[in-house]
Amino acid sequence: MKFSTRTTYGLRALIKLSEKFGKNNVSLASISRDEHISLKYLEQIFSSLKKANLVKSEKGATGGYSLVKKPEEITIFEIIEILEKDMNLFRCIDQHGKVNCNFKCNCGATKVLINVQRAINDTLKGMSLKDLI
């Protein structure tokens, strides 16, 4: 189990935006330089973040991205949910935490798996972007 580079890079980039919250825009070019991340890849990541209404953008020479909400209002869970393509930790549990087993097995395992998923989610919901500055 590993977070994708999308998620990792996204988190790192959002930390940059948090530091400049209420001040400047942050350009992807500057993040690319500072964090050694491919500019084109960052563009894709920020496309997702913008669609999810987590960041807003301005074009042009002084353009760039900024957070839509305060850092303390953005949870790590929220970010991961946007960037990670599949946040269902187990096959037999769907996005809403309900059992969705192919074989309609009546094993007790799904209960545990649901608890594991919930525990991790709660942990991530308890952490915000502010918890780092």
Say whether residue 23 binds a copy of itself (CB under 8 A): no
Stretch that binds a copy of itself, among 43-51, 53-61, 66-74, 107-115 (CB under 8 A): 107-115
Number of other residues whose CB lies within 10 A of the CB of residue 64? 21
> Using the rule CB under 7 A, is 53 a contact of DNA?
no
Q: Rank residues 24 and 58 by Cβ distance to a copy of itself and give the closer one.
A: 24
- Asked if 50 is part of the footprint of DNA (rule: CB under 7 A), the reply reads yes
Q: Name the residue among 4, 18, 3, 8 with its Cα closest to residue 73.
A: 18
Q: Whole-angstrom Cα distance, residue 69 to residue 53?
A: 9
What is the separation, in whole angstroms, between the first and last Cα of the chain?
A: 27
Whole-number minimum distance, CB 42 to DNA, in Å?
Answer: 8
> If you write DSSP's letter for every residue of 16-47 in order, what string do you get?
HHHHTTTS--B-HHHHHHHHT--HHHHHHHHH
Residue 19 CB, shortest distance to DNA, in Å, is 15
21: contact with DNA by CB under 7 A: no
**One of 47, 53, 88, 115 touching DNA (CB under 7 A):** 47
Contact yes or no for 21/71 (Cβ under 8 A): yes
- Toward DNA, which CB reaches closer, 41 or 124? 41
Query: Which residues of this protein are in contact with DNA, per CB under 7 A?
Result: 2, 4-6, 25-30, 38, 40-41, 43-44, 46-47, 50, 57-65, 85-86
